[in-house]
Chain A
Amino acid sequence: MPSLPAGSWVPSVTPQDILYRGDSCTSQPLPVLPTQLSHFFVDHPEDAFGSLGKLLHQNFYLGDSKLRVSVHSGLPPCSGCPRKNLVPRLRWFSHLARDWLFEVPLGLLADCVHEDLLLQWASLLFDDSPTGGALAWLPPKDVGARTGRLVYPGGQAMNHLCILPHGVALRRGGGGREGVPYFVGVRSDYHCGVWRVPGRTGAAPTPLQVIRTSVPASCLTVSPHLPGELAVCTQSGAVYLWSVETGLQRLRHDPQTMFFRDHSPWRWSDFTAHPRVLSCADRTGLQCLDTRVSPGGCHFDLFKVGEEAGCQQGERVVLPMYLGRAYPSQHLVTTQFSVYVLDERLPLVPVLKWAHMMKAPPLFAHLTPGGPGRSHKVLLGASRTQELLLLQYRGEKRGALGPPCWGSQSACQLVGTPQKLHSVSSCLQHLPAQLPHRHRLLQQRLSAPAAGGCPAPPGGLGVLGRGQDVSWKVLVPEEAECPQEPSANPQPSPAAALRYRRWLKAFSKVCGQPPRHTRPPTFGQKRLFTRKELEEPSAPSALQGQARRWLRQAMRDGGCLQRWDPPPSALPEPPEPAEDPDPLSARLTASWCGDWDGWWEGRMSSSLAQRQRALRERRRRQKRARGRRSLSASFTSSLTYQSELSELSDPDTAPPPRREASPPLGTSPPAAATPPSPEEALLSSQSLRSRGIPKERRKTLRDYLAVWADGPPEPPELPGSQASQLCIPSSQSQLSSASQPRRKRPRMGF
C-alpha cells in the first residue's frame, strides 16, 4: 500500500531529454497546422486564452453580482508547457554566469558538456547507484512485539532516513540476527553513516558514526556477524572494513578491475562465512580478502566472469550478495543475464546457474531463509522496469555441515517455477478512472523506478519507488492442488481497493498544489560568497559617520537632508526650447497645418542629403585610418619598448597576454592628468571593470557606444581601436601598442 510522504517528487531525466533537442513534441513529424492549433487550444487553454483574459477582465461588466475567482481550479496549474518552468531557471543561470562564462574556453566547455551528457546517458541506460536497494525491514526482536520496522530514505532528494513502524501479525517469533540492536548503514554519495536501532520498538534510533569519502562510495554493507562492523567501497577501488570502535581499515586500493579491464568504477563488498574475510567485487568478478593479513596479502578468487562459470560475451557482475542466513558459505551473484549461486568452499564453479531473463539487470536482492527442510526465497528486483522475480532454491541441509558443496547430499536446485510479481505500475488499472492529466501524473508517479524492495513476514513484500511511495503487497500462497489458472489481472481485495482510494486522495491533495520545482529557484548570496566576504567593515568610515551625523541632525531639525559633497545647485533649469523639434512633432505640426505633403518632400530630400553626407564622411574616415595604420606600423618598433615598461611598472599583476587584449587605458599619465569626459570615463577600462563588465565585453560595449555616440560632433571615433589610432600622433604610446597587439614580440634578455 503506497504511503505518501510530504515532499513532492522530482522527475528524473528521460531519454528524450538527451536525445531530442528542445521540446520533445517538436521532434516528431508535425501534423497540419490547424489540427495542431486546435489541439493546442484544447490541451492548453490557459496558455492560449489566459493572457488575453487577464488583460481584459477588468473591463468586463458581469452584472452586479460579485465576481468570484476560484484560485484552485480543477486543473493543476502545471498543465501548460512542460518546459515553461525552465525559462526562469535559465535566465537565472545566465545572470549568474555572465561574468565568467566568457572566460571559459569554448572547446573545454564543449568537452565538459559532452562528458556530462555521456554520463547522464550512461546512467539512463544503467544506473548502478541504487545497487543493493534502499529499503530494509527490521523484524521485531521482542517475542511479544507485533511491529517490525521499515527503514527507507525519504524526503524530496531522499535525504531523510525514515524508520516506520509497520504492524504485522507475527506468526513466527524470534528470528533476526545476532546482537540485540540493529545496525543500519546509510550511504549517500560522499557520506556513509551507521545508525543503531534498538531492538525495542519504542526506542529512538541513534546515529553512531559518519565518514566522509573524497570519492563517491559505491557500497556499504553491514556485517551479519559482528555488531558495528561494516564494509565500505569507494569508486576509486578502495575497500575498507569499518568498525565503529576501531575505525577504518583499508584492505585494498586498486583502481584497476580484478580480472580484465572494465571501465566501470563500481565496487562492492560483502561479508563471508568467516567474519574476518570479506568478499570484494567489481564488474569482472569476486575475490575474498583476509583482513587479518596485510593489504593485498591473502585472497582467493570466488567468481570470475569467464569460461568456468559459462558466462556469455559481455556479461558483467551486477550485484553480489552473501546468503549466510540460508547457508553459511553461499553467495548469490547476479549478472544482467543470469543468477549464480556460489560456494566459498568450491570457488569459481557455480553451484547453481539460472538465466533470469529480466529486462533490466536485477539491482537489489533479498533473501528470506526458509526454516529447516524448506526452500529459501530470493527476491530479485530491477530498478527501471520495476520487475520483481521470486525464486525458491534449496541446497544442502542447514546445520548438517555435510560434505561441502553439492554432489553427495542434495544438489543446489531451484524449487518450483520462478514467479513474477506484479509491479507497482500495474496497480494503475485498479485505481478508479481519472481525468486524463491526472492519470498521466499518476502513471508517471507509479512507474518511477524502484529503489528497493524487501520481503517481510508474513508473506508481505515492500517495494520502494523513487517517488518515495512504499507499496506493500501481500503474497498469498497458491495451493498446489488448485488447477484453476490465476486470471491475468486478479482484482484487488476490497480492503486493498479502499487503501488505493485513500492513497489516491492523498496523492491528489499533493498534486493540487503547484509542484515545488516549478517555482523560480532563488539564489542566496550567502552561497556565493563566504561569510568573511559578506562581513561588514567593523568600524564605519569617516564619510559614513559624517553622513549619519547629518542624517540625525536633519531628523532632529525636521528639515530636509541635502547633499553634502558638491554645493547644492539651484533649481533645475527649465528645459531649453528645442531648436530643432523632433521629427514626430514636426510631422504632426505639419499635418495639423495641412502641409504634410511639403513636410514629406523636405524630409525625403534632407534625408537623402544626410545619407550622402554620412557616406562621404565614412569614406574619408576610412582613408584617414588607412594612412595612419601604415604610419603606426613604422612607429611600433620604438613604441613597444615604452609600453612594456609601463606594463612592468603597473602594479596590477595580470598575465601579460591578457593585458594585450585589454589596454590599461586609464593608467596612462595623460589620461590621468586631464579629467576624462563622461563618455571617456564610462569607457575607461577601470570604470568598466568596476561595473563588473568582463574584459571580452568591454570592446563590444565600446564599439556599441561608438555607434551610439555617432551623433555628437566631438571626435566620434574616440573609443575602441579607432580612438587609439587618433591618439598615435600625440605619442600616447600605450594606446598605440595596445591597438597593435600582434606587433609585440617577446624580447630576449629583458
Chain B
Amino acid sequence: CKKGKWPLSSPVLRREKFFIFVFSGSCLAFVYGMVCLYVCMQIFSTVGSQKSKEVCLSYIQDAMLRKQWKRAAEFLTFYIESLEKDFSTEYMGPSEVIWRIGAEILCHRFHNNMKEFSSFIEQMKTLGVKRYLKVSVCLEHAFHLLCNGQIDEAYQNLSLAESWRFGEQTAIQDKEMKLIQAYRGLLDYYSWSKQKNILLEHDLSVEQEMHGCFRKAAMNLKEIIKIPGVWDLFVKCYVDLLEFYGDYSEAREVLNEYAYNSKFPANPNAHVYLYQFLKRHGESKKSLLSALKILHDIVPSHELMIDFHIMLQKSKKRKKRRLGLEVIFAVLDYAGWKENVKAWSCLARQVKQIKHLDWIKQEWDPRRDWWPAFHFSRYSAKRNWQENESLSYEKALVAGILLGKGCKAQVKRFRILKKFLNKHNPVYLRLSGLSDSSVQP
C-alpha cells in the first residue's frame, strides 16, 4: 500500500477508473459474495497478477476504511490465494501486509477474540519465517496481548522472540532486538513493582523473587538507555529501580546523561525528571534552579515555570528576581496559559509590588503592541467574567496597571471590576509617572 511515488505516476490514475467501474456494480447485498468472486476471478485472470494484487489491496483498504470488515476479510482471502498461485520471489512485502490487515480485521470483526487471533499469529509465523515477521510480529503481538491484560503471555512471547535465531542479522534487526529486550525489562519492572507492593504489606517471602526481577529488568533497561533516543518510560522505570535500592549516584548519572548528552534529542522531559529527582533528594536550591533554568530555555511555557518563578521570587539576589519576572511574562505569552488563574495571580502580585517598575517597563515594552489584543480584548474580558471571576480580577488588575486608562474602557461594563481597579489605581499612576520621567531626561 505504501508504494507511492512523488509526484504520483499515471498508473494510479488508470487504477482509479477501473476501481470505480467495478464498484458501481456491486451494490446489492445479496449478490454480494458472487460479485466479489466474479470480480476477483475477472481481475485475476485478465489483468496481470501484480496489477490484480494492487487492485485487490485497494478494495481491502476501501472496505476497512468504511468499516466493512466482512468484505475486507473476503478480499483478504482472495489476496492470499492469489499469492499462493504467484511464485514470485518477493515474499516479505505481502507477509507484512497480510499481517497488518489480518490483525486489524480480526480485532474488529471478532471483537478481540484472543483464540482466533493467536491461531492467526501462529499461521503468520509459519507463513513468513523471513526477518520481518520474526521481530515485529512478536512485538506487536505482545502489545496486543498487553492491551487485553494477558501479561504473562506477552512476556512469554517476548522471550520467545528474543531466543529466535533465524535469517540474517541486520542493523535494524539489532535495534528491534534491543527494543524487545527493553519491553521485556519493562514487564520485569511491572512484576517487580507488584511484588514491591506485596513486600510493603510486610510479606517478606517475595523478596528473593523480587530481586531476581530487579536484576533482569535493570540489565535490559540499562541497555536501551545507552542508545540515543527518547526513552522516557524506560528511564523512569530504571531510576525507580535504582532509587529503591538506594543507588542514588547511579540514578543521578543516568538522569544527567539522559538530560545533558548532546547525542540525545533535546527532551524537556529529561530535565523534568532530573529536577524531580533532585527535589526528592533535597538537593540545594542552586542545583534545582539550574535544572529549571535549562528547562525554561527549552520550553518557556512549561508548567514547572510557575514553581520556578516562585523560587526565584523568594531569592534575595536582584538578578534572580529579575529572571523571575521574565519567566512569568514569558509564560503568559503562550496561548495555553491565557486563562490560567495561578499565572495571572503571580504576575498581578509582581506588578503590585512596586519595587522595580523599570523592570516591568522593560518587559512590557516589547509586548505593548500585542498583549492588549491578545489578553485584554473586550470579548475575552466578557468571557472571563462569565466563566471565571477570580481570573477576571487578576487580569483586570494587571491590565489596569499596564494599560492605564486604555483598560478602563474595557472593563467599563463591570462595575465591581471598576471599583476593584480604582482601589489599585495608584500603582498605575506611578508606572505612568515613571514612563514620563524616563522620556524627559
Interface, chain A (partner B; CB < 8 A) = 15, 122, 125-126, 178-180, 224-227, 246, 273-276, 292, 308, 312, 314-316, 324, 327-329, 336-337, 345-349, 355, 357, 359-361, 385, 389, 399, 401-408, 417-420, 425, 429, 478, 485-489
**Nearest A residue (CB) for B107:** A417
Q: Is the CB of A346 within 8 A of B373?
A: no
- The distance from the CB of B408 to the nearest CB of chain A, in whole angstroms, is 19
Q: Is the CB of A349 within 8 A of B230?
A: yes
**Residue numbers in B under 8 Å from A348 (CB-CB):** 265
Among B66, B298, B334, B379, point to the contact of A273 (Cβ < 8 A): B334
Instruction: List residues of B (365-392) whose CB comes within 8 Å of A's CBs.
Output: 366, 369-370, 373-374, 377-380
**Residue numbers in A under 8 Å from B171 (CB-CB):** none
Mark contacts of B334-345 with chain A using CB atoms, 8 A cut-off: 1 yes-contact digit, 0 otherwise: 111101100000
Q: Does B8 contact A (CB under 8 A)?
A: yes
**Residue numbers in A under 8 Å from B393 (CB-CB):** none
Given A308-B265, A336-B4, A401 and B337 touching (CB < 8 A)?
yes
16 further A-B pairs in the complex, CB-CB below 8 A; given A274-B335, A328-B334, A346-B266:
A122-B7, A178-B379, A179-B377, A227-B377, A329-B301, A345-B268, A346-B267, A346-B269, A349-B230, A389-B65, A407-B232, A408-B232, A408-B269, A417-B65, A417-B104, A417-B108
Q: Is the CB of B8 within 8 A of A125?
A: yes
Q: Is the CB of B268 within 8 A of A405?
A: yes
**Nearest B residue (CB) for A325:** B335
Q: Is the CB of B61 within 8 A of A357?
A: yes
Given A349-B230, A357-B2, A417-B64, A488 and B71 touching (CB < 8 A)?
yes
Among B13, B32, B71, B335, point to the contact of A225 (Cβ < 8 A): B335
Q: Does B70 contact A (CB under 8 A)?
A: yes
Q: Is the CB of A273 within 8 A of B301?
A: yes
Q: Does B257 contact A (CB under 8 A)?
A: no
| Cross-chain pairs A/B with CB under 8 angstroms, 24 sampled | A122-B7, A125-B7, A126-B6, A178-B377, A178-B379, A178-B380, A226-B374, A273-B334, A273-B336, A274-B333, A324-B335, A345-B302, A359-B8, A359-B12, A401-B337, A407-B269, A418-B65, A420-B66, A425-B20, A478-B67, A485-B71, A486-B67, A486-B68, A488-B26
Among B68, B236, B333, B369, point to the contact of A485 (Cβ < 8 A): B68
Among A361, A401, A420, point to the contact of B336 (Cβ < 8 A): A401
Q: Does B137 contact A (CB under 8 A)?
A: no
- The distance from the CB of B398 to the nearest CB of chain A, in whole angstroms, is 17
- The distance from the CB of B402 to the nearest CB of chain A, in whole angstroms, is 17
Q: Is the CB of A346 within 8 A of B230?
A: yes
Given A275-B374, A345-B301, A385-B16, A488 and B265 touching (CB < 8 A)?
no
**Residue numbers in B under 8 Å from A417 (CB-CB):** 64-65, 67, 104, 108
Q: Does B1 contact A (CB under 8 A)?
A: yes
**Residue numbers in A under 8 Å from B68 (CB-CB):** 485-486, 488
**Residue numbers in B under 8 Å from A324 (CB-CB):** 335
Given A273-B336, A308-B265, A346-B265, A485 and B67 touching (CB < 8 A)?
yes
**Residue numbers in A under 8 Å from B108 (CB-CB):** 417
Q: Is the CB of A275 within 8 A of B67?
A: no
**Nearest A residue (CB) for B386:** A174
Q: Is the CB of A126 within 8 A of B268?
A: no
How many Å lie between the Cα of A328 and that of B335 in the bound state? 6
Instruction: List residues of B (60-113) whose CB comes within 8 Å of A's CBs.
Output: 61-62, 64-71, 104, 108
Number of chain B residues whose Cβ lies closer than 8 Å to a Cβ of chain A: 62
How many Å lie between the Cα of A486 and that of B64 in the bound state? 12
**Nearest A residue (CB) for B235:** A407
Q: Is the CB of A485 within 8 A of B70?
A: yes
How many Å lie between the Cα of A276 and that of B334 in the bound state? 9
Given A125-B8, A308-B265, A405-B269, A273 and B335 touching (CB < 8 A)?
yes
Q: Is the CB of A488 within 8 A of B27?
A: yes
- The distance from the CB of A310 to the nearest CB of chain B, in whole angstroms, is 11
**Residue numbers in A under 8 Å from B8 (CB-CB):** 125-126, 336, 359-361
**Residue numbers in A under 8 Å from B337 (CB-CB):** 401
Given A274-B335, A336-B4, A404 and B269 touching (CB < 8 A)?
yes
How many Å lie between the Cα of A402 and that of B1 in the bound state? 38
Q: Does B177 contact A (CB under 8 A)?
A: no
**Residue numbers in B under 8 Å from A337 (CB-CB):** 2, 4
**Residue numbers in A under 8 Å from B301 (CB-CB):** 273-274, 328-329, 345
Mark contacts of B311-338 with chain A using CB atoms, 8 A cut-off: 1 yes-contact digit, 0 otherwise: 0000000000000000000000111110
**Residue numbers in B under 8 Å from A122 (CB-CB):** 7
Q: Is the CB of A429 within 8 A of B27?
A: yes
Q: Is the CB of A314 within 8 A of B6?
A: yes
How many Å lie between the Cα of A123 and that of B333 in the bound state? 41
**Residue numbers in A under 8 Å from B267 (CB-CB):** 346, 405
How many Å lie between the Cα of A140 and that of B303 in the bound state? 33
**Residue numbers in A under 8 Å from B10 (CB-CB):** 15, 125
**Nearest B residue (CB) for A398:** B336
How many Å lie between the Cα of A228 and that of B65 in the bound state? 40
Q: Is the CB of A419 within 8 A of B66?
A: yes
Q: Is the CB of B232 within 8 A of A419?
A: no
Which of A126, A405, A425 has most chain B Cβ within 10 Å? A405
How many Å lie between the Cα of A180 and that of B369 in the bound state? 19
Q: Is the CB of B65 within 8 A of A488?
A: no
Q: Does B310 contact A (CB under 8 A)?
A: no
- The distance from the CB of B295 to the nearest CB of chain A, in whole angstroms, is 10
How many Å lie between the Cα of A355 and that of B101 in the bound state? 13
Q: Is the CB of A401 within 8 A of B265?
A: no
How many Å lie between the Cα of A276 and that of B7 in the bound state? 35
